[in-house]
């Protein structure tokens, strides 16, 4: 069997003993193969193009009535940029520390989820890399939220002044609004308070935050 057929079939499980029906390991789609690999390869290229790449000197030829693939070189190439971005989003969404990416259990878990080719191709991001990517994610989500808020007519805002275990004072401001018929609550900021909690100081801090988010009170 040609090398490409072996690689292609490796992405599928047999549904019946004859092998004329297979199930994609990536998305569970069931395909009719007719005994060849052309349908499987077409499915991979159409639905999972991010992991399928072909060399420019590869050729595809028809054979018999099954239009089987005779010669082609393909390699699995996971999008590591998307993986790193997903990891950063997970840290932000679940309020996890950057040091989580250094935890032995976490790294073993991620390696077990990756394919053998992916694990060999690139290492897991280190803590400093995850931390360095957070500002980019923050700015992207902030810009997205500002665009949404600019179209909202009615907003509700809540403030909370609290003290951390290290006795530092913070103010957290949360915005509440209806978006596409769903009530949303988003934290605009958690800011360190460096002065006494006087009314004037809190007013100045809140005003500065509202201005930053282009929220104007009338």
> For residue 6, what pLDDT is reported?
59
Taking the CB of residue 175, how many other CB atoms lie within 10 A of it? 20
**For the ranges 7-16, 61-70, 106-115, 209-218, which has the lowest average pLDDT?**
61-70
Q: For 116-135, how does the pLDDT look when each residue is reduced to its tens digit (9 = 90+)?
A: 555 455 566 677 777 888 88
> For residue 199, what pLDDT is reported?
92
Is the pTM higher than 0.75? The answer reads: no
Nearest CA to 65 out of 93, 104, 38, 27 is that of 38
What is the DSSP secondary structure assignment for residue 59, as one 8-state letter? B
Q: For 32-56, how does the pLDDT look when each residue is reduced to its tens digit (9 = 90+)?
A: 776 677 777 877 777 776 655 543 3
Average pLDDT, the chain: 77
E strand spans, the chain: 12-14, 21-24, 30-32, 53-54, 74-75, 156-163, 169-179, 182-192
Taking the CB of residue 136, how many other CB atoms lie within 10 A of it? 11
More confident residue, 78 or 85: 85
């Amino acid at each position: 069997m040609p090398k490409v057929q072996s690689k292609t079939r490796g992405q599928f499980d047999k549904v019946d003993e004859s092998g004329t029906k297979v199930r994609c390991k990536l998305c569970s789609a069931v395909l009719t193969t007719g005994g060849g690999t052309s349908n499987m390869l077409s499915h991979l290229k159409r639905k999972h193009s991010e992991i399928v790449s072909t060399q420019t000197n590869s050729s595809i030829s028809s054979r018999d009535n099954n239009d089987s693939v005779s010669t082609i070189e393909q390699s699995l190439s996971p999008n590591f940029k998307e993986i790193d971005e997903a990891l950063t989003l997970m840290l932000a969404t679940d309020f996890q520390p950057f040091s989580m990416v250094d935890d032995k259990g976490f790294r073993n878990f991620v390696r077990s989820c990756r394919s053998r080719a992916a694990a060999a191709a690139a290492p897991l991001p280190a803590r400093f890399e995850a931390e360095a990517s957070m500002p980019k994610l923050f700015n992207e989500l902030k810009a997205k939220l500002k665009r949404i808020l600019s179209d909202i007519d009615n907003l509700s805002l809540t403030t909370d002044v609290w003290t951390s275990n290290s006795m530092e004072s913070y103010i957290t401001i949360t915005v509440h609004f209806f978006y596409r018929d769903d009530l949303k609550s988003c934290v605009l900021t958690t800011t360190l308070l460096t002065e006494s909690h006087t009314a004037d100081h809190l007013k100045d801090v809140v005003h500065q935050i509202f201005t930053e988010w282009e929220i104007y009170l009338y």
